[in-house]
Chain A
């Protein structure tokens, strides 16, 4: 097949994303520069976001929540993925991987609702920690899988070689295991952080009064507050901010590609 045929085959996907993301996004950008009352072009929506401390606080609050989600998924995933990648084999390895992956075949929203009910049974009501617990639960595989993939690249003989050269546990962790799993950590970090930063479902289901995050705020600006101008400006600013952040991260990541191949 030649280039133009292949391009034509790729068009349905492009059209799909155009219809549901890019065109609405352009419309949204338009609204972010329009004064809702006068209909004139303005920067007021952006200035309001900067001026009004509530916006800044919500963004900071969401960054903290997403950051804690990342750290907890990392702490939970690392030992498990290390054990499965390097210390288990055969049937045990397959069984453990199935145990890790199966929960995530169930729909995200259903699991969030189930989590809410289980937390109720255990005596926890809506609030910050219920919300955090559900976020960690939902985003765990996005940390576990890249981590597992990068740890799988460490062959047992690399660890044996390091040991026979005189490395102690500390050297092994700091000089071999952590640096070699860094690409996985960065990939997991990026995925979990980007997705949890604008999370809407879990804060509104489990956050209660603590559930006012970027996601729920954008929802309220558009649907209950009818503040399309500020809602659009906030959405655009967050999206561009995340885009810039992920470009920086992926550039950093490409330095490791030398040995990822």
Chain B
């Protein structure tokens, strides 16, 4: 089964006088994971709710595999949506939560039992152990799995996830992201994923769509967007970037020049295009690498320094910092 391709054409949505989404064109290819990434209030959740059919756009249209679904209610779109607060039914057991979508479709009870048990196994919950539990008896990660199972059981063509892991701790989040990727590959469905967490977006997405102020700023594969940010907003929101003053950049730029911290070389052994003397302002141990802030000509440059390079770096120490001009990105001013 190949997932549905989703297109938004010139979609706009206002709440009162606030323009949540402004004239958006968006493509989420079938059978892949597309992430809407942006700061809170950028319009990403509204866009997701428009795809789900929970909001009607003021203008524009929503197409599923080329068919206009703008007027269809959510239950007729073949979507499954996982809400930020999960919205599990607190008065039902795990089994009944997952069976809900099948019961309202009048699926026979013996078929419901086998489908619910299958989907519980799919999300790595043992049906005999968890089926009869109440929602309040589950951990955050388990509740998350139930929320996923509840939408997967109705075999949606499109899975919409609204910051589903934001309230979980780091380890469980990483684990569930891996599981969602595996599920997606196994089921072949289309996933649209909303998050404000750039790391989450990098690790889950086939395609990333960066939004700000109700508009799409840039889209592409995560590595493309990371290596070639369209502007300063993307460079600083999606990963970290040092904004280089014209004198520092080593390029004749009246435009904005940035460099990623991992491209800056501390005490370079190989020759580099530009090199400066600086003073270490701060050192933070991060396991495999150090984050070092170096003060150069009144500017602070962030450096990621692999531990494997060895040597101890102390605050106040004088160091040499340099980079190659090919690593400096010159951006449009927007």
With contact pairs A157-B85, A259-B134 given, residues A162 and B91 touching in the complex (Cβ less than 8 Å) = no
Within the complex, the shortest CB–CB distance from B65 to chain A, in Å, comes to 19
Contact A167 B104 (CB under 8 A): yes
Neighbouring B residues of A182 by C-beta, 8 Å: 91
Which of A101-109, A119-127, A173-181 has 4 or more CB atoms under 8 Å from chain B? Answer: A173-181
A251 at the interface (CB under 8 A from B): no
* CB under 8 Å from chain A, chain B span 63-93: 73-75, 79-81, 83-85, 87, 89-91
* B154-A166 in contact (CB<8A): yes
Q: Which residues of B contact A171 (CB under 8 A)?
A: 103-104
Q: Which residues of B contact A157 (CB under 8 A)?
A: 83-85, 87
Contact residues of A between 144 and 183, Cβ < 8 Å to B: 153, 155, 157-158, 160-168, 171, 175-176, 179-180, 182
A259 touches B90 (CB 8 A): yes
Contact B150 A165 (CB under 8 A): yes
> Using Cβ atoms and an 8 Å threshold, which residues of chain B touch A179?
91
Which single member of A158, A165, A180, A259 contacts B75 (CB below 8 Å)? A165
Q: Which residue of B lies closest to A165 (CB)?
A: B101
| B100/A162 in contact, CB under 8 A | yes
Residues of B within 8 A of A165 (CB): 75, 80, 100-101, 104, 150-151, 154
A164-B52 CB under 8 A given contacts A155-B85, A171-B104, A259-B134:
yes
A162–B151 Cα gap in the complex (Å)? Answer: 10
Q: In the complex, how many angstroms separate the beta carbon of A244 from the nearest chain B beta carbon? A: 27
- For A162, the chain B residues whose CB sits under 8 A away are 89, 100
A171 to B96, CA, bound (A): 14
Q: A155-B85, A164-B80, A165-B151 are in contact. Are A180 and B91 (CB under 8 A)?
A: yes
| Complexed CA–CA distance, A168 and B134 (Å) | 24
Contact B91 A163 (CB under 8 A): no
Q: Are A161 and B83 in contact (CB under 8 A)?
A: yes
A261 at the interface (CB under 8 A from B): yes
Tell me whether A164 and B104 are in contact (CB under 8 A): no
Give the docked Cα–Cα distance between A261 and B134 (Å). Answer: 13
Tell me, rounded to whole Å, the shortest Cβ–Cβ distance linking B49 to chain A. 9
Let me know if A256 is at the binding interface, CB within 8 A.
yes
Q: Would you call A155 and B136 a contact (CB within 8 A)?
A: no
A259-B136 contact, Cβ under 8 Å, with A164-B52, A164-B75:
yes
Q: In angstroms, how far is the closest chain B Cβ from the Cβ of A252? A: 14
Closest to B98 in A: A165
Q: Which residues of A contact B135 (CB under 8 A)?
A: 259
Asked whether A261 lies within 8 Å of B150 as measured between CB atoms, the reply is no
Set of chain B residues within 8 Å of A175, measured between Cβ atoms: 100, 103-104
Interface status of A258 (Cβ within 8 A of chain B): yes
Inter-chain contact B105/A166, CB cutoff 8 Å? yes
A11 to chain B, nearest CB (A): 37
- Chain B residues near A155 (CB-CB < 8 A): 85, 87
Q: How far is the CB of A110 from chain B (nearest CB, A)?
A: 40
On chain B, the residues within 8 Å of A160 by CB distance are 54, 74, 81, 83, 87
With A179-B91, A180-B91, A259-B136 known as contacts, the answer to whether A161 contacts B104 (CB < 8 A) is: no
Asked whether, in the complex, the Cβ of A180 is within 8 Å of the Cβ of B90, the reply is: yes
Query: Given contacts A168-B104, A171-B104, A258-B134, is CB(A161)–CB(B91) below 8 Å?
Result: no
Instruction: Report the minimum CB–CB distance from A20 to chain B (whole Å).
Output: 40
A256's nearest neighbour on chain B, judged by CB, is B91
Residues of A within 8 A of B136 (CB): 258-259, 261
User: Please, which residue of chain A has its CB at the minimum distance from the CB of B135?
Assistant: A259
When chains A and B are docked, how far (Å) is the Cα of A171 from the Cα of B102?
12
Q: Are B81 and A164 in contact (CB under 8 A)?
A: yes
Interface string of B150-165 (1 = CB under 8 A from A): 1100100000000000
Residue numbers in A under 8 Å from B134 (CB-CB): 258-259
Complex Cα–Cα for A175 and B102 (A): 13
Which residues of chain B are near A161, meaning CB under 8 Å? 81, 83, 87, 150
A168 — nearest CB in chain B belongs to which residue? B104
> What residue of chain A has the Cβ atom nearest to residue B52's Cβ?
A164
- For residue A153, give the distance in angstroms from its CB to the closest CB of chain B: 8
B101 cross-chain contacts in A, Cβ below 8 A = 165-166
B84 contacts which chain A residues (CB < 8 A)? 157
Q: Select from chain B the residue with minimum beta-carbon distance to A156.
A: B87
- Residue of A165, A171, A258 contacting most chain B CB atoms (<10 Å): A165
Q: Which residues of A contact B151 (CB under 8 A)?
A: 165
Closest residue of A by beta carbon distance from B105: A166
Known A-B contacts A163-B74, A165-B150, A167-B104; the reply to A158 vs B91 at CB < 8 A is: no
Between-chain CB contacts (< 8 Å), 6 pairs:
A157-B87, A163-B75, A164-B75, A165-B75, A165-B101, A261-B136
Interface residues of B (CB under 8 A from A): 52-54, 73-75, 79-81, 83-85, 87, 89-91, 100-101, 103-105, 134-137, 150-151, 154
6 closest Cβ contacts across the A-B interface? A259-B90, A165-B101, A161-B87, A157-B87, A164-B74, A157-B83
Q: A161-B81, A180-B89, A259-B134 are in contact. List 7 more A-B contacts (CB 8 A).
A: A155-B85, A161-B83, A164-B74, A166-B75, A167-B75, A171-B103, A171-B104
